[in-house]
Amino acid sequence: MTQTEISNFLQAGAFFGGADGQCLLFEGPWARSEASSEAPSGSFNVALQPFFESRAVPYLAGSKPRFVSRNQLKTVLEDFLRTNSGSVPGAAALMKASDWDKPLMADYEKAFSDIQQRIRGGALKKAVPVVFARKNFRPGESLSQAQKAAWILKLLELPSQRLYLYGFWNGTDGILGATPEVLFHKKGLSVTTMALAGTLPKSEVAHRLQLSEDPKETHEHRLVVEDIVSQLGRFGSVQTGSLETIELPTLFHLKTQIELQLNAAKPLLHVLELLNVLHPTPALGVSPRTAGYQWMAEHPGQSDRGIFGGPILFQLSPDEAIALVAIRNVEWNAQGLKIGSGGGVVAESELQREWTELQQKREAVFKSLGM
């Protein structure tokens, strides 16, 4: 990639980094697509669905997407930073975690109490409140291309086996992160997804039960598995894998792989339809789904939640697409930046334990971005 191409990419672009070490890069400018569940595959490149919205917004990139290796992307970003910032290490330290305002525990306690009251009333089994650390921009301040490049470089250092890299930015708005959670990966008639719920910070291993033996965490996980299997069962044959514990840089999670083989005799399920079938699973939403989830928008600090916990969908080829759950990220707009964290609340949940987990999830994001 030339310096002009990488500059255009950092101005308006998107990227996806999978487990195979390859990155798919999209270069703006972006145009809203008219893609729908009736439109053919390939009528959009990326689709984003803010958490509380009912439909995804599809976009077409300004130029043809390209595949590059992680090492190739690393090299061109380093060259860009040397040319535009003088040094790579200096650019990576443009922002610090201490510059951010932490969420208020009092706000979280209101959401936690509301959810537990609904659980005691029998209307709910689980819900996932979210809080945000924030950094407001000063007048005239915005996110620089150098900062985006530095953050992407830090993400490229993360292990590719368990984390999917992703980003999308257009004008003053954008999102960038590394998520362990795939909403679905569809290729032809095959759909794979996962239940990813249940968390154990590595710092608490010595004085907590193993994840697979923790009643609260396994209960929370089962609710997600049951919901996904129920949602997908009407479209074909569903198989669930065994419960496993996956290791991330600072956390452990419970994971169950789930596979759907679509019924070939029925019309092919479009990826935009599949988004609406699955989003949000109880891993980020509520259980049961009949309880609805829009009421969570009334909790403190949710008015500008944006895409956190929502899906970001990449069209990889005419018959293949992957939708990631947008967690473990930094999101920005003209006003500033935010880093969110959420955790499942069930009947057995304890306020202080959940609050600590939220903090550790945000710290993992700050660390992954070099802050």
| Range of weakest confidence among 80-84, 150-154, 307-311 | 80-84
Q: Rounded mean pLDDT of the chain? A: 92
pLDDT digits (tens, 9 = 90+) for 189-216: 999 999 999 999 998 888 888 899 999 9
For the 3-365 domain, the top CATH level (class) is alpha beta
The tens digit of pLDDT for each residue in 126-145 reads 999 999 999 999 888 889 89
Which residues, at least 6 apart from 299, have a Cβ–Cβ distance to it below 8 Å? 107, 110, 111, 114, 129
The pLDDT assigned to 23 comes to 95
- Alpha helices by DSSP H, the chain: 3-11, 70-85, 88-92, 105-120, 145-156, 215-232, 271-278, 351-368
45-88 residue pLDDT tens: 999 999 999 999 999 999 999 999 999 999 999 999 988 875 54
Does the pTM exceed 0.75?
yes
Cβ atoms within 10 Å, residue 140:
5
DSSP E strand stretches across 79-215: 126-127, 130-136, 164-170, 173-179, 182-187, 190-201
Residue 348's closest CA among 220, 185, 169?
A: 220
